[in-house]
Each structure stands twice: as structure tokens, then as C-alpha cells.
């Protein structure tokens, strides 16, 4: 059987690594591309889900982090730092452990999901909860990386996007060509930029015959691209994408325009509806921010922006277990029973 070796080994010839690069890996990448039967029915499209929550720390961030930490190790870094809405910090903390580095993370106080906080802590990161939002945290992390001996591993680190572009390679490798439309959530805007890099690279080298239209979706309370300028006080229940001043602004605009795509917004209500649809109709448990891609596709199909018959891939970026509060709060309280078959049967409605 062929064994997945992690994305740096799988795509070594397309990544900026050499024999001198120590590969720091948790065997990330190689995630499933799952047919979405119900969403296909609803839209008339041929929809697949790139399930990035199945990466080692439960999000797509591991793709960028294996590259960023490997290159930091090559440069002799002893410590790394990042700002995060949670997933980047979880990933940085785990990969820093693999590399024997210390890891500092800055997160917005009270605004990250419990599972992500747990990940940073269990991996031994030094965690600061900052009285500010993600944009404030990133500004702070950038300053610290300039003034102190600590390497910045946010997506402004050019190696991050190089790692993340491999998701596009995997999709083309699995389908035999690029999809016609690719939907994904947009926060700090690194991922949409990375996918576009990957798709363009494969098309330029003739591995794919086309590039997809890139459709990015922000939460309506945190939608600087839709507004056309930074949002000072971003608000959304999808804490992972609660970002008002995306770092990869120009790259994301280029991805949108060069691909003939769009960056639109969806409401928190639409995000939660897509979140439940994914869980209850597709069997795929994602975190709320991840459902923005599907909420956006449903909206785009409704608007006629995506026509029936289109081959679509939606990236679902993070695992639902990271943020279980939304799963529990939307469900009825479980029934407690004695150890009694009759009572259990009747509680289950079997009688």
C-alpha cells in the first residue's frame, strides 16, 4: 500500500525546500474529497467537500505550518510566534513541539473556541489573551517578531501559503482536472490566495486544463472585502473568521479578479444553517466558520451565480470538535433514563 508521507514529501518538487531543510511534519494533507449528496441535490451542482478538519490538528493550518516551521528550523529559529483566532495557534503549538521550539501565541481574549484554546495549552504554548481583536493581535505579533528573536508564522510568512497551495494540487490530482468553481471561507485571506497559487501553478504546467472561479465568503459582520475597506469592529459567531483587516488583501483581490470570481458575505444565520445541514445531511461535522463556504454556495446557486451542472469544490476548513458549543446549544437536552429496557425504548420512541 502507498503511504502518505506528508505534503512536503508528496509535493517536494513544487515547494521551496532543499536537502538542507529539516522536514517538520505530522503527515498533514492528503485529506478526503467527499461527494456532498444533499448539497448537490439542493444546488443541482456536482459538489464535493475538501474536508480539512481531518488534518493532524484539525484544520487546514497544518499545511502552512509544516512549511513555516520547517523553514524556521532551517534558519535556526528557537522560538516562533503567531496571532490567531485559534486554529493557527493550535497548529503552531503542535508543530513547534515536533521541532523542539518554544511557541508564543496571541489570541483575542474570550473570542476563541474552547477546543482551540485546549490545543495550544496541551502542546505547551505560551498563550496570551490580548484585550483586542485578531487584527490587534497580528499587529502585536509582527512588532514582537521584529524586535525579539522569534519567528512569525502567520500567513504573512511566505512559506505558509506555499504549504497551503497543496490543497489545490490534491483536488486536481483527485479529480483529474480543476473544478469549475471553488468556494471557501475568507478571514485573513491567506487560504484563498494559496489555493489560487496552486491552481494557477498546475494550469501553467499543464497538469490542469483550467482554473476555477474562486468564490470567497466572509461573515456579514466581518466582511471588509465586501465593504471595500477594513472593518474596525468585526462581529460574527464564526470566531475563526472574525477579522476586519485581512493581511493578504491584495493577493485575495487578485485571486478574485484573475479567476473571474467574487468575495461575498453570508449572515451568521446562513452560516449556522449550513453548519447544521453539513452535520445532519452530509455527516460532516465542521466548525461554524468552515460552513461559510457551503452557506455561500447555497446563496450563489440561489442567485444564479453558480449554474446547475457546475463542478464545485467547497473547502470546509476546520473540525467541528474544536467548537462544540454550537452543536450542543442547538440540540434538545438528552434524556436521562434508568437501566431499564422499557424506559429506554419508550424514551427512544420505539414502542
* Minimum CB distance to ligand F0G, residue 58 (Å): 9
Name the burial class of residue 165, with classes exposed (0-12), middle (13-18) and buried (19+) by CB atoms within 10 angstroms of its CB. Answer: buried
Which one, 186 or 272, has the nearer CB to ligand F0G?
186
Nearer to ligand F0G by C-beta: 59 or 162? 59
The residue (of 59 and 66) whose beta carbon lies closer to ligand F0G is 59
For ligand F0G, the closer CB: 15 or 194: 194
Element (H, E) at 160: helix 158-164
CA separation for the pair 238, 85 (Å, rounded): 10
Looking at beta carbons only, is 74 or 139 nearer to ligand F0G? 139
Contact 67, 326 (CB under 8 A): no
Cβ-based nearer residue to ligand F0G, 157 or 317:
317
Read out DSSP for 64-128? HHHHHHHHHHHTT-SEEEEE-SSHHHHHHHHHHHHHT-EEEEEEETT-S-HHHHHHHHHTT-EEE
Minimum CB–partner distance for residue 156 and ligand F0G (Å)? 11
Pair type for strands 311-316 and 181-185 = parallel
Minimum Å gap between C-beta 341 and ligand F0G is 42
Beta bridge partners of 33: 50
Tally: H helices and E strands in the chain: 15, 10
Q: In the complex, which residues of this chain contact ligand F0G (CB under 6 A)?
A: 59, 61, 84-88, 155, 185-191, 240-241, 287, 289-290, 317-318
The residue (of 292 and 300) whose beta carbon lies closer to ligand F0G is 292
Residue with cell 485571506: 189
CB of 317: closest distance to ligand F0G in angstroms? 3
Nearest approach, Cβ of residue 188 and ligand F0G (Å): 3
| C-alpha span between 325 and 302 (Å, rounded) | 29
Q: What end-to-end distance do the CA atoms of the chain give, in Å?
A: 48
CA nearest to 299, candidates 238, 224, 242, 217: 217
Minimum Å distance from CB 24 to ligand F0G?
A: 19
In the complex, the smallest distance separating the C-beta of residue 186 from ligand F0G, rounded to whole angstroms, is: 5
Do 28 and 6 contact (CB within 8 A), yes or no? Answer: yes
Amino acid at each position: 500500500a502507498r503511504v502518505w508521507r506528508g505534503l512536503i514529501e508528496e509535493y517536494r518538487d513544487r515547494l521551496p525546500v532543499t536537502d538542507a531543510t529539516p522536514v517538520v511534519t505530522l503527515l498533514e494533507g492528503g485529506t478526503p474529497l467527499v461527494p456532498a449528496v444533499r448539497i448537490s441535490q439542493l444546488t443541482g451542482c456536482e459538489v464535493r467537500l475538501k474536508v480539512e478538519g481531518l488534518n493532524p490538528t484539525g484544520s487546514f493550518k497544518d499545511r502552512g505550518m509544516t512549511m513555516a516551521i520547517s523553514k524556521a528550523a532551517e534558519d535556526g529559529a528557537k522560538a516562533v510566534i503567531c496571532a490567531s483566532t485559534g486554529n493557527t495557534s493550535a497548529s503552531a503549538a503542535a508543530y513547534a513541539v515536533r521541532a523542539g521550539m518554544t511557541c508564543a501565541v496571541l489570541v483575542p481574549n474570550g473570542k476563541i473556541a474552547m477546543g482551540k484554546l485546549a490545543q495550544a495549552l496541551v502542546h505547551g504554548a505560551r498563550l496570551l489573551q490580548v484585550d483586542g481583536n485578531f487584527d490587534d493581535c497580528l499587529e502585536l505579533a509582527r512588532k514582537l517578531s521584529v524586535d525579539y528573536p522569534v519567528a512569525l508564522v502567520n500567513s504573512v510568512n511566505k512559506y505558509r501559503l506555499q504549504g497551503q497551495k497543496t490543497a489545490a494540487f490534491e483536488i486536481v490530482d483527485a479529480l483529474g482536472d480543476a473544478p469549475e468553481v471553488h468556494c471557501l471561507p475568507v478571514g485573513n485571506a491567506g487560504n484563498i490566495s494559496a489555493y489560487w497559487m496552486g491552481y494557477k501553478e498546475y494550469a501553467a504546467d499543464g497538469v490542469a486544463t483550467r482554473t476555477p472561479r474562486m468564490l470567497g465568503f466572509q461573515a456579514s459582520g466581518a466582511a471588509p472585502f465586501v465593504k471595500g475597506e477594513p472593518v474596525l469592529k468585526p462581529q460574527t459567531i464564526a470566531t475563526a473568521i472574525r477579522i476586519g483587516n485581512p493581511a493578504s488583501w491584495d493577493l485575495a483581490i487578485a485571486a478574485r479578479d484573475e479567476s473571474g470570481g467574487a468575495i461575498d458575505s453570508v449572515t451568521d444565520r446562513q452560516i449556522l444553517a449550513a453548519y447544521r445541514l453539513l452535520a445532519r445531511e452530509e455527516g460532516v461535522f465542521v466548525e461554524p466558520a468552515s460552513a461559510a463556504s457551503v452557506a455561500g454556495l447555497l446563496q450563489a446557486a440561489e442567485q444564479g451565480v453558480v449554474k446547475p451542472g457546475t463542478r464545485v469544490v467547497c473547502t470546509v476548513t476546520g473540525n467541528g470538535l474544536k467548537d462544540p458549543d454550537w452543536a450542543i446549544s442547538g440540540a434538545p437536552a438528552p434524556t436521562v433514563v434508568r437501566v431499564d429496557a422499557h424506559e429506554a425504548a419508550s424514551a427512544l420512541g420505539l414502542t
